[in-house]
Amino acid sequence: MQVIFFDKARSFLKRYQDILMIGCFVLIVLVFFYKTVCFLKLPIPSDDLVGLYHPWRDAYAHTFQNGVPYKNFLITDPIRQQIPWRKQVIDAFKTGHMPLWDATSFSGVPLLGNIQSGALYPLNVLFFVFPFEIAWTILIISQPLLGGIFLYLFLRHKKILALGALTGAVCFSLSGFSISWLTWGTIGSTLLWLPLMLLSFEKIHGGKRKGLWRLLFIFSIVSSFFAGHIQVFFYSILLFCLYALWTHRGMKIKKIYLMHILTPLLVIALTFPVWTRFISFYMTSARSGGTNWETEGFFIPLRHLIQFVVPDFFGNPTTLNYWGTWNYGELVGYIGVIGLIFAIIGLSKATMFWGVNIALCLLFAINSPIARLPYRLHIPFLSSLQPTRLLSIVDFSLSILAAYGISEVLKNNKKKQFMTAIVMVGIVLLGAWISVLKPYIPVENVSVAKHNLILPTALYGVMFCISIVLLWMKSSWKTVRVIVCLGIVGLLSFELIRFGWKFTPFTDRSYFFPKTEIIEQLQQIKKPFRVLATDDRLIPPNVLGFYNIETVSGYDPIYQSRYEEYIAAMERGEPNITPPFGFNRIISPKTITSPLLPLLNVHYILSMDTITSPLVRLLREEGTTKLYSVAQKVPRAYFAEQFFFEKSKEDVMKRLYSKEFIPGKSAVIEDEGFIVGEGFKEDTVDITSYEGDRMVLQTASKNARFLVIGNMMDSHWEVLIDKKKTNIVRVNYLFFGCIVPDGTHEVAVQYK
């Protein structure tokens, strides 16, 4: 009777092993997000927003005198970039408009052309079903969940044992790279489609239902592109191309099929609305000239390879004891001590592609003459990429090798390589212990490194003991071997989940972009106007975009080089637009006395200090945050009364600083000279309707007048006078304008 029962149980497990393993994987992911599932905590670092910045600190001062506690100061980018951008995208779609223009940052930048906004990502459908913060939470969870399931299916297609495929899925979904960038919602979303690309490719070339798999292949590439991170997408496509060439290297191409041409064309066509605008914007940006690649942490320092074994050897930002090279999130390629041991076991001639792939990625990621070569040669695009992001492909490849490794252990193969892996990791740990016991590291950091060595060493010790058992075990004890390996996967999951819990915040829903008195007042004021904050402790760049409030600050790797020059001249207090400018992704001007400031349509100033100047008047105080109104406001659109025509941008800037230039009345035009009529007091410009990417004006004048429009110059702006398109020219260094005929007219300004 028992024999029959066990036979049936074995048959059931074999038949439904994939469903059971995927179920186990889903359970592991849900355990990681248990605070969300059970207590509705959000995997969003909004505690940084209310804990680090005013006026939110002021709003919560009655409850938390020392500020709201926050977990991880390192990961403020999601609340300063991805979430505000996605909120604008969804708001635009909900009003029936394409999300083309972001009027809230850098005084205006393209939104659809901003890859990181994820404007056309298919999973944006979530935001039309759930409240924004819930939809964003589901988006965050989808990254490890879908990525792991797709990798599991790919590994099973490659004939990896089910438990091995589960191991690969766990390593990939909860790896150091995946956890470090989890809350961004873009990098993980970009990478999760890579295994589906590989699986679809395999199915197209060796399975049934080729039409369905072609559609999935195209969908996975397009989704990866739209997900929001161009660098990781580039790495994913590059890896896919290398994989396709490697797996078909011995095949002779007899003829090119229609799909070989049609598929790339379809991908290009489907992504056309975004990549064309991205390239157009990129070419006008400061980023197109490359990056500051000589700064510390741009490449992976050799010593930080220890983080593949001991992720917190240099401390952790959440415990405020990190002493390594800035920054932690760029340098941790951890897949677990156990995962790394199995990855080493998985190296073989059959898995050479993944091993070589890891070696090449590290070659160009670790600080070395070879890695610096693309930057010294100023190779377009490549010289603007931070090579530490190659860890995305390293961890992906290590996860696949780990799947192969545990499969070999289950088959009782590679006993010698098993011991080799144990010895190699043991030597690394021994070296780490010697460095802290001798010590060879700064004395003040010894206790941090020593404490964080304990758990990896303990896990290694457990694996050492298990390896002895597995090597001693008879080949016929297959069931026992499976049970032992299942326990190892459980231990691996614990190892990676603990690492992820330490780094990832789970916050109260009430902390998600709450309103304050000052924010509500700014929302109620009639637009258009812009805001300037004089202190870095105040509202960080881009955040007011969530509330649809326009600012002159911004935080993004890509912004117009002209804007960088303009703000540099404004902050310097002189018409100097000579680099270097000192900005690194963030432009946040502080001066309120520059003659260039009024041209930016700044009507309100946020400050933590009392400003005693006739230029402003106090409107409201909220704790230590003060809101001031600018005394002499320059409107967003006005008729110019005085003209200067200059050829070079240097001369334009000098003219803007000259005594003859009067903000709100003068115009410096980069075009051929022209003549317009004399102005009268009766001439008017009224903004009758305004949205960030469009506005309608009613003008009345006795003569033809030149209209200055304080929106950032961009080739996609279109001005219609009585529904007829008119030419626009660059004005006042950053903006644009046009000639309006005499009489009464409707002027429509729209970003197309």
Q: What is the pLDDT of residues 89-117, one digit of tens each?
A: 999 999 999 999 999 999 999 999 999 99
Q: Is residue 539 part of a domain?
A: yes
Strand order in the sheet with 694-701: 684-691, 694-701, 743-751, 717-721, 724-726
- Structural domain span for residue 547: 517-630
For residues 694 and 750, is the Cβ–Cβ distance under 8 A?
yes
What's CA 140's distance to the chain center, in Å?
A: 12
Computed over every residue of the chain, the mean pLDDT equals: 93
- DSSP reduced 3-state for 647: coil
Q: Let me know whether 451 and 467 are in one domain.
A: yes
Is 285 a domain residue? no
Residue 492 lies in a domain: no
Structure tokens given for 235: 């790495």
Asked whether residue 460 falls in the same domain as residue 311, the answer is yes
Structural domain includes residue 482? no
Q: Are residues 464 and 387 in the same domain?
A: yes
Is 657 found in the same domain as 677? yes
Confidence of residue 674 (pLDDT cuts 50, 70, 90): confident
Higher pLDDT, 176 or 671: 176
Q: Does 227 map to a domain?
A: no
User: DSSP code of 442?
Assistant: -
Q: Could you tell me the CA-to-CA distances from 669 to 48, 377, 570, 649, 734 in Å, in that order?
A: 44, 37, 19, 10, 10
Are 567 and 709 members of one domain? Answer: no
Task: Provide mean pLDDT across the span 31-50.
Answer: 97
Q: Per-residue b/e over 287-321, b at no fewer than 16 CB within 10 Å?
A: bbebbebeeebbbbeeebebbbbbbbbbbbbbeeb
Shared-domain flag, residues 311 and 407:
yes
Q: Which two tokens stand for residue 507?
A: 């916050």
Distance CA 662, CA 655 (A): 10
Q: Are residues 603 and 660 in the same domain?
A: no
Last residue of a domain, one of 604, 630, 656: 630
Residue among 680, 676, 664 nearest 731 (CA) = 664
Reference 189, options 235, 152, 155, 141; nearest CA is 141
DSSP label of 752: -
pLDDT at 254: 54
Specify the pLDDT at position 472.
80
Tens of pLDDT, residue by residue over 158-172, are: 999 999 999 999 999
Give CA–CA dist 49/69, Å, rounded: 10
Neighbour tally for 494: CB within 10 Å: 15
Q: Are 34 and 27 in contact (CB under 8 A)?
A: no
- Residue 225: closest CA among 142, 81, 121: 121
State the average pLDDT over residues 577-595: 92
Q: Residue 10 above 90 pLDDT?
A: no
pLDDT exceeds cutoff 90 at 249: no
Q: Are 176 and 391 in contact (CB under 8 A)?
A: yes
Of 630, 649, 671, the residue at which a domain comes to its end is: 630
- Interval 230-243 mean pLDDT: 97
pLDDT in tens, 323-381: 999 999 999 999 999 999 999 999 999 999 999 999 999 999 999 999 999 999 988 88
- Asked if 563 and 569 touch (Cβ cutoff 8 Å), the reply is no
What proportion of the chain, given as a percentage, has pLDDT over 70? 96
Question: Residues, the chain, total?
Answer: 752
User: What are the residue ranges of helices labelled H in 478-582?
Assistant: 478-503, 517-524, 561-572
Looking at residue 255, what is its pLDDT?
A: 55
The residues facing 717 across adjacent strands are 751
DSSP run (H or E) holding 344? helix 337-345
Pair (674, 536) in one structural domain: no
Lowest mean pLDDT among 170-179, 277-286, 565-574: 277-286
pLDDT, tens digit, 9 for 90 and up, residues 382-422? 888 999 999 999 999 999 999 999 999 998 877 889 999 99
**Same-domain pairing of 669 and 537:** no
In a shared domain, residues 467 and 400: yes
Per-residue pLDDT, 477: 76
Domain count, the chain: 3
Element holding 259 (H helix, E strand): helix 258-283
Q: Is residue 305 part of a domain?
A: yes
Q: Among the three residues 630, 665, 684, which one is the final residue of a domain in this structure?
A: 630
Non-local (6+) Cβ contacts of 455 within 8 A are 495, 498
Is position 208 within any domain?
no
pLDDT greater than 70 at residue 562:
yes
Residues 377 and 434 in one domain: yes
**pTM, whole model, 2 decimals?**
0.94
Token match 């760049």: residue?
541
The yes-or-no verdict on residue 13 having pLDDT over 80 is: no
Range with lowest mean pLDDT among 126-130, 344-348, 579-583: 579-583
Is residue 57 one of the residues assigned to a domain?
Answer: no
- Clarify whether residues 612 and 688 are in a common domain: no
